Chains A and B, each alone.
Chain A
Amino acid sequence: MLKRPMAAVALVAALAVGAAACGGTTKKSSSGDNGAAATSGAKANPNAPIKKGLKVAFLPKQVNNPYETIVDKAGIAGAKEYGGTAKEVGPSDASASSQISYLNTLIQQQQDAILIAANDPNAVCGPLKQAMSRKIAVVTYDSDAAKECRDVFINQASSEEIGRSEIKVISDLIGGKGKIAILSATANATNQNTWIGFMKDELKKPEYAGIQLVKVAYGDDDDQKSFQQTQGLLQAYPDLKGIIAPTTVGIAAAARYVSASKYKGKVQVSGLGTPNQMRKFVKDGTVSKFELWNPGDLGYLASYAAAALASGQITGAQGEKFKAGRLGERTIGADGEVILGPPTVFDKNNIDNFHF
């Protein structure tokens, strides 16, 4: 055995770095080698009937997340309407790589369509491209993957509209002045980050000059962690006026913490949540207003888009139209995006009209 193993390790490693540093593959030298998008010469036939017995799979960010459950259940019900069979599979944690195993499994099972809410836009790209090359329709919903890795993205609402309206809501609630914080989900969630981007942009407007965004915290869509992050925010910024949690897990945890603390009534909580989850906090006065689109409609629309793709009615190109059951006809916009519609604002006057 070597007398000084550590020295040997260091020496070998140093030599290797030295040798390699002379040249090699860098970001610049390798750019442009990621093959062209898969949108090939495939032609859409708008009159094609929806194929019978389509096998459709929903892969949410994580299973057992109340929001995703509503989305996927409605999507599965939609599939029943057009005579297909759908299922929901997925990881129990919302991390990037855990979706990969499921994607590969779905490819092996030869599903007709895969619907995914991507935890990381790029990590899922490889298997999604593989799926598309095997004629599996790929629809992203809720959280998009890189454009070239899916056929269609069903966006719950225009991201810009959501981001900007979140700022309007919180500004109304805190009287246009004071410190605010954002409690997001995971740091890489595409949808959260897009909304936060628009929130920051909206804050640049002169009418929001009195509002200061002090921190973006991440609760990882974990109830306990989101609760702790809320606690942390309020301790770090005792004069905080408002928290925007653009995630259903986050807003419920934040509201739960605030409602039981001395900050109740002093700190406004808003963001995106489901009415059932937020009802009690709206009634006890912790939360005055929050927003959401109808998650059931999102899953339903995604399900129909998947069927239209798998049946050859659409290919994902801009301007193509498809029928989405009770939601009527929808048109594909730029970059293969289909927008569900503007978000609904819930408050104590209308919350009892919604049950999801």
Chain B
Amino acid sequence: MAPDAPVKTSSPGALPNPVTRLVRWDVIVTALLIVVFAGGALGTPDFATSDNLSFALDDLSEIALIALPMTLLVVAAEVDLSVASVLGLSSALLGALWDAGWAIETIIPLLIIVGAIAGLVNGLLVTRLGLPSLAVTIGTLTLYRGLAYVVLGTKAVAQFPQNYADLATKTVPGTPIPYPFALFIVAAIVTAVVLHATGAGRAIFATGAQEEAAFFAGIRVKRIKLLLFVVSGVVSAFAGAIYTLRYGSARADNGLGLELAVIAAVLLGGVDFDGGRGTLGGVVAGVLLIGLLRNLLMLRDVATEIQSIVTGLLLIVSVLTPRIIAGVREARRHPRGSISASSQ
């Protein structure tokens, strides 16, 4: 392939700008989160109780956990749609092996290996064959879900040990924070440090912004992507164990459609679907906003359809707003807007 560097530096977003700094989407989402929380606490008596919040957070556990590797992938301009199917496969395996008399302590590491393999398959198809991740993971979405049904069929396995079920549902003593969410907080801090304060993080951003440029700058683009897919698989498989223990029911159809909730949270958090831009703080705010908003709407007896409409609109606004901001900024810089208008 002919190197067409120097790369087009005029692409919007490549240059920092004081205006966008002020109205960054992740800041808006965080503000929105505070508004929703305050509004809920004032207007809905059952909302800001420690009981309700701990439940709302527990309900978010898997989405929140999977959103972390998903953020890294989307920043690297890839996506993994198979996460919910890996979760389902992991749940099905957990059920089948538990039923067969295996120990939980053996099953969970095995699930992690299976998750790693699932992620590796995604990663290899994307990096070695150069296929788009959207297409690859739509395929594996179906494939892994199919495997889940092969493993457990249509039955449901229940009756998991109480101590593990407690780990998935009880809160850290003295706080309203459920254990899975505490795990998410730790994982989020680690992910934030990796993404925003290390060379690996800068490499992920560079890969997503301009893959070829990153490659010529000596970044091992493919290796990074491969690793991110593996991490995504591992986290999804682990989330499958949490999901199963939390609901007390292992089934092949567990987590059906969860990938959309994860991607929604990532996009809502202001991560650019084209890659190269986003912050982990924004994603954490996005995850919390989706979860608390849903909880609030349910407490207020808002119909399911309206809930979907609210979430959908929020998502469209979140994808649209940064573009509009970028557009306005671009228009200001080039009042006659001749050349760069084509890039949108």
Contact = CB atoms under 8 A, between A and B. Distances in A.
Contact of A20 (B52, B109, B255): B109
A9 B113 CA distance: 8
Given A16-B109, A89-B298, 19 more contacts: A1-B200, A13-B116, A16-B112, A17-B106, A20-B106, A24-B103, A25-B103, A26-B101, A27-B159, A90-B304, A95-B253, A97-B243, A97-B249, A104-B52, A108-B49, A122-B159, A123-B248, A125-B248, A187-B154
B304 A92 contact: yes
Nearest to B120: A6
A33 B110 contact: no
A298 B105 CA distance: 45
A6 B230 contact: yes
Contact of B105 (A1, A20, A188): A20
A102 interface: yes
Interface of B: 46, 49, 51-52, 55, 59, 98-99, 101-106, 108-110, 112-113, 116, 120, 153-156, 158-165, 169, 200, 223, 226-227, 230, 234, 243, 247-249, 251, 253-257, 294-295, 298-299, 301, 303-305, 308
Contacts of B256: 93, 95
B301 A122 contact: no
Contacts of B234: 9
A95 B243 CA distance: 14
A13 B156 contact: no
A96 interface: yes
Given A9-B116, A16-B109, A96-B247, A105 B161 contact: no
Contacts of A24: 103-106
Given A20-B106, A26-B103, A27-B101, A96 B249 contact: yes
A97 B298 CA distance: 15
Given A24-B104, A26-B103, A97 B294 contact: no
B45 to A, nearest CB: 10
Query: Secondary structure at chain B's binding surface: helix, strand, loop or mixed?
Result: helix
Contacts of A72: none
Contacts of B116: 9-10, 13
A43 interface: no
A92 B156 contact: no
Given A26-B102, A108-B52, A123-B248, A100 B59 contact: yes
Interface of A: 1, 5-6, 9-10, 13-14, 16-17, 20-21, 23-28, 30-31, 33-34, 63-64, 87, 89-93, 95-97, 100-102, 104-105, 108-110, 120-123, 125-126, 146, 186-188, 218
Nearest to B308: A92
A13 B233 CA distance: 14
Contacts of A92: 304-305, 308
A33 to B, nearest CB: 5
Nearest to A99: B247
Contacts of B159: 27, 31, 34, 122
A108 B298 CA distance: 11
Contacts of A93: 256-257
A21 B106 contact: yes
Contacts of A23: 103, 105
B46 A109 contact: yes
A91 B298 CA distance: 10
Contacts of A121: 156, 158
B163 A25 contact: yes
Nearest to B157: A122
B161 A188 contact: no
24 contacts: A9-B230, A17-B110, A21-B103, A25-B103, A25-B105, A25-B161, A26-B101, A27-B98, A33-B162, A63-B303, A92-B308, A96-B247, A97-B247, A97-B249, A104-B59, A105-B295, A108-B55, A109-B299, A120-B247, A120-B251, A121-B156, A123-B156, A123-B249, A125-B158
A169 B294 CA distance: 45
B200 A89 contact: no
A121 B164 CA distance: 20
Contacts of A218: 154
Contact of A188 (B99, B169, B226, B251): B251
Given A90-B304, A120-B156, A108 B249 contact: no
A87 B299 CA distance: 13
A47 B248 CA distance: 39
Contacts of A122: 156, 158-159, 248-249
Nearest to B105: A24
A25 B164 contact: yes
A90 B301 CA distance: 10
Contacts of A109: 46, 299
A92 B120 CA distance: 34
Contacts of B112: 13, 16
Nearest to A5: B227
Contacts of B49: 108
A13 B111 CA distance: 10
A125 B247 CA distance: 8
A85 to B, nearest CB: 11
A138 B204 CA distance: 51
A355 B248 CA distance: 40
A6 to B, nearest CB: 7
B152 to A, nearest CB: 10
Given A97-B247, A101-B298, A102-B298, A13 B113 contact: yes
Contact of A105 (B113, B153, B165, B299): B299
